[in-house]
Each structure stands twice: as C-alpha cells, then as structure tokens.
C-alpha cells in the first residue's frame, strides 16, 4: 500500500466534464446529468484500497444526508483493472450494491477523467458549487485505518456546508491521503 497525498487542485477551477460507464445502471452517464443543483462531490475511490474501505460507510451516510439538500455525489474508479482485477466494473457493481451506494459508481477505463482532475489517491475528494467551480479538494477527516481517530467526515462536511451556503471556501484544506491510483 503506497501512501499518497492528493495533488493540488486550484479553487475556482471548473470541473472537467466527463461521460463514464455507471457500473450499477449499466449506462453511460454525464457529469451534467449527475451534478447537484447546489453542490457536487466527486470522489475517486476503488474497491480494494484500505483507506476507501475504512470510509465507505461514512460516504454512504454523507450522500444520504446531503442528497435531499440538492448535493450530488459521484464516485469514480480509475484503477488499472488488468493489474488490479478486484477493481473491475463487475466487482464495482457488486460492491456498490453491497454497500448500498446512493450514488453512481463510474468506471474510468481510459483514466482520462482521473488525469483531468489530477487525482492521485483513493479516496480523493472534490467539492464544486452550483456552477461546477471547485470549492474544496482535500481529506474527509483525520481518521485513517488503524490511527484510532473517529470517522467524522468533519472536513468534507464543512466544505459542503460552506459551498451550499454560498460562503467562502475553507482556507486550510488538508490533502487527502490514501493508496495511489493504479495507473496503466
């Protein structure tokens, strides 16, 4: 497990558009169809990363609590499935059903979306406002597998709340830390 920090992603950057295969609905879905009217959270995750496994339940809880507030959640897996078959679209669909993901779990086969977002690790979190301008790129919270810190989603929740309220983004945004994206 290679410990990797997220790369900088400048605030105000417009979310790069994409159309990707949703492993649950078996359809190609576009960012414009998935974005929330008040905010959008894009998460780069995968099936096998211990950092993602650690936060899965909190991601489901967050999406369920923010969806009624018109915040869209989108999960993307960009890992190389040839060398990491546990991240295949079929197994992504199984995990999404098992975890009861209330958001699409998209497969970035070409890895072009991860490159467009300069994603580096899983999990990697991005928040965008109603105009799809970046307001946050950072960690969920300080909890990591084995560090005994509570899983609160404090940082991401604060970023979403500020975005939905139209307030100034968090000044201090701590990078996410997790497994590196498995590049081809």
Which residues, including other chains, have CB under 8 Å from residue 172's CB and lie 6 or more apart?
Answer: none
In the numeric block, the tokens 């690790």 are attached to: 121
Mean pLDDT calculated for residue range 164-174 = 94
Cα distance between residue 90 and residue 163, in whole Å: 34
Domains and CATH numbers, the chain: 3-9+16-180 (3.40.30.10)
Summarised one tens digit per residue, pLDDT across range 30-51 is 999 999 999 999 999 999 999 9
Give the DSSP letter string of 16-69. PP-EEEETTTTEEEEHHHH--SSEEEEEE--SS-HHHHHHHHHHHHHHHHHGGG
pLDDT surpassing 90 at residue 157:
yes
Strand residues in the chain grouped as ranges (E): 3-5, 19-22, 27-30, 39-44, 71-77, 105-107, 121-122, 124-129, 134-138, 177-180
Look up the pTM and report it: 0.97
pLDDT digits over 99-149, tens only?
999 999 999 999 999 999 999 999 999 999 999 999 999 999 999 999 999
């Amino acid at each position: 497990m290679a410990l990797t920090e997220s790369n900088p992603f400048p605030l105000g950057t417009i979310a790069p558009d994409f159309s990707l295969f949703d492993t649950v609905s078996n359809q190609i879905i576009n960012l414009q169809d998935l974005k929330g009217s008040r905010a959008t959270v894009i998460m780069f995750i995968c099936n096998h990363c211990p950092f993602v496994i650690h936060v899965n339940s909190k991601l489901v809880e967050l999406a369920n609590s923010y969806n009624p507030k018109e915040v869209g959640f989108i999960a993307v897996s960009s890992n190389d499935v040839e060398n990491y078959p546990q991240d295949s679209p079929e197994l992504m669909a199984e995990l999404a059903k098992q975890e009861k993901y209330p958001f699409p779990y998209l497969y970035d086969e070409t890895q072009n979306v991860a490159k467009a977002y300069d994603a580096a690790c899983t999990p990697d979190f991005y928040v965008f406002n109603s105009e799809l301008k970046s307001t946050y790129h950072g960690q969920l919270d300080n909890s990591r597998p084995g560090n005994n810190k509570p899983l609160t989603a404090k940082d991401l929740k604060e970023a979403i709340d500020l975005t939905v309220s139209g307030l100034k983004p968090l000044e201090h945004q701590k990078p996410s830390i997790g497994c590196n994206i498995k590049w081809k």
